[in-house]
Amino acid sequence: MGLRGVDRIMIAVKDLESAKRLYAGMLGATFEDAHWTGEPFGIQVTIAWDAGIELCAPLPGRERDSAVSQFLEKRGEGIMGVFFGVDDGDAAMACAAARGHGVTHALDYTQEEIDRHLSGRFSRYQEFVLATAERCGFSVCLARIDPKAK
């Protein structure tokens, strides 16, 4: 599987702009909006690759039915997911499945999507969100995110 360590944490927040200001001021983090990744789930997304933080908030008008709404309602703002970097996403997912861990959703972006939405910074971007929230208190996520060679 080739575990690389923690890639980033995903934090559910109620107000994305307030949270961006908080973490940027506290850590000096630089956020890039990635709303296109969250729109199908009813969320706004911004990522600070330099700090390893992803912030997610409900889209306006989706406060009740977004992918983060239940988490915010039950627990309030906080860590919703931890992304662990892996060398081979498919092998890591097969290993997790063999141990009984299902997937709530998966992403595997094309190079064209990476170039258009992520400033072309990666050569591979693949994520698997495991169904571990009840057991672990957050979603364990497996991520193969390879930087583009310079």
| 57 vs 33: CA distance, rounded Å | 12
Q: Which residues contact 80 (CB under 8 A, 6 or more apart)?
A: 10, 11, 12, 56, 68, 71, 133, 138, 139
CATH number for the domain including 127? 3.10.180.10
- Cross-strand partners of 85: 5, 143
**Amino acid of residue 37:** T
pLDDT tens digits, residue range 105-136?
898 999 999 888 888 889 999 999 999 988 89
Domain total in the chain? 1
150 residues of the chain, pLDDT tens digit each? 689 999 999 999 999 999 999 999 999 999 998 878 788 889 999 999 999 999 999 999 988 999 899 999 999 999 999 999 999 999 998 998 899 999 998 989 999 998 888 888 899 999 999 999 888 999 999 999 999 887
Residues in the chain: 150
| 91 vs 96: CA distance, rounded Å | 9
The position carrying tokens 């983090």 is 29
Predicted pLDDT at 139: 94
As a whole number, the mean pLDDT across the chain is 92
- The residue segments making up the domain with residue 129 are 3-147
Beta-carbon-side half-sphere exposure of residue 106 (alpha carbons within 13 Å): 13
Instruction: Return the exposure string of 14-24: e unless at least 16 CB atoms fall within 10 Å of the residue's CB, then b.
Output: eebeebbeebe
